[in-house]
Amino acid sequence: MNRTCPARPALQARGVSFAYAVPVVRNFSAALLPGTVTGIIGPNGSGKTTVLRLLDGLLHPLEGEVLLDGGTPLCRLSRRLVAKHIAMVPQNALTASFHTVFECAMQGRSPHLHFLAFETAQDEQIVREVLEMTDLARLAEARASELSGGERQRLFLARALAQQTRVLLLDEFTANLDINYQVELMRLVRRLTRERGLATAVVSHEINLLAAFSDEVILMQDGSVRHQGPVAKVVTRDNLKRLFGLDFLVRPLPSGVPEVQPIMDDMQR
């Protein structure tokens, strides 16, 4: 009898803990699978951004380990090598105002360039392709400082895609954007995750947005994973109430995706 073998994680955290002056992440475990969008939700101060920095190798765990392709600890790899496998778009990503859109996206090719080497025709072709994917090709010669908020986020995504990694980490990627830009960006992220077989993790406070576009969800509180799994099983009234200390109305849409609405005191009267 033929059996489908489960996909090997592109990136996996096992029992990871981290502290600054006080513990920030406690015994965090998760697996990011190819072709899958994993949403990470939690209150402020729950350790979400620190988790992404641990997954990107910018921070090293005090306990536990982060494994690439199910076996190689990130702490053994150089930053240059990590950047060939993992791309991250941090909160409030920046680029020099004098850079053009093309130049900014080209920065994503840096891990693949030899020391003091110039970009090749292949690098330029890769950048042109990611600008097409993110609908920025027409703005290639525009200054990054001239872009709208939604265009700027697409540019940071293009820069990350130019790294040609298997893992994509997005931190508050849609924050402070109008809902149309939020949906557009998450639709693009999900499509590219499917087409490129990326293992994508997205941190966001937008519960409904992540519920609509994620395959798996992790709920975090006080640096620990409280719940994780398929969206419909994790995004529930009881789980969210325990997480945020607030009551919610959670109802399934025809697609099966849960829709979340906080219940205010005046709605309960």
pLDDT, greater one: 198 or 94: 198
Residue-wise pLDDT for 133-150, tens only, equals 999 999 999 999 899 989
Model pLDDT, residue 2: 41
Q: Are residues 81 and 181 in the same domain?
A: yes
Model pLDDT, residue 3: 43
| Confidence class for position 266, pLDDT limits 50, 70, 90 | low
Residue % of the chain over a pLDDT of 90:
80
Q: 149-161 and 121-133 helices cross at what angle (nearest 10)?
A: 140
Q: Does 230 reside within a domain?
A: yes
Q: Are residues 78 and 170 in the same domain?
A: yes
Q: Are residues 195 and 256 in the same domain?
A: yes
Q: Are residues 141 and 212 in the same domain?
A: no
Q: Does 225 reside within a domain?
A: yes
| Confidence class for position 1, pLDDT limits 50, 70, 90 | very low
Query: Residue 232 pLDDT > 80, yes or no?
Result: yes
Q: Are residues 79 and 100 in the same domain?
A: no
Structure tokens at 203: 């941190």
Q: Cβ contacts of residue 204 below 8 Å, gap of 6+?
A: 39, 40, 41, 172, 173, 174, 175, 210
Q: Are residues 76 and 120 in the same domain?
A: no
Q: Does 1 reside within a domain?
A: no
Query: Residue 115 pLDDT > 80, yes or no?
Result: no
Distances from the Cα of 215 to the Cα of 38, 85, 117, 159, 261, angstroms: 6, 21, 40, 24, 20
Q: Are residues 187 and 257 in the same domain?
A: yes
Q: Are residues 157 and 170 in the same domain?
A: no
Among residues 162, 187, 205, the one where a domain terminates is: 162
Query: Residue 240 pLDDT > 90, yes or no?
Result: yes
| Confidence class for position 96, pLDDT limits 50, 70, 90 | confident
| Confidence class for position 269, pLDDT limits 50, 70, 90 | very low
Torsion (CA) 45, 226, 13, 37 in degrees, nearest 10: -90
Model pLDDT, residue 21: 87
Residue-wise pLDDT for 156-209, tens only, equals 999 999 999 999 999 998 988 899 999 999 999 999 999 999 999 999 999 999
**What's the domain count of the chain?**
2
Q: Enter the pTM of the model.
A: 0.93
Beta carbons of 41 and 217 less than 8 angstroms apart: yes
Among residues 108, 128, 162, the one where a domain terminates is: 162
Mean pLDDT is lowest, of 93-107, 192-206, 230-244, for 93-107
Q: What is the CA radius of gyration of the chain?
A: 19
Torsion (CA) 103, 196, 209, 17 in degrees, nearest 10: -90
Residue-wise pLDDT for 25-81, tens only, equals 999 999 999 999 999 999 999 999 999 999 999 999 999 999 998 788 999 999 999
Residue 245 lies in domain: 11-85+165-267
Residue % of the chain over a pLDDT of 70:
95
- The CATH number assigned to the domain holding 15 equals 3.40.50.300
Beta carbons of 134 and 154 less than 8 angstroms apart: yes
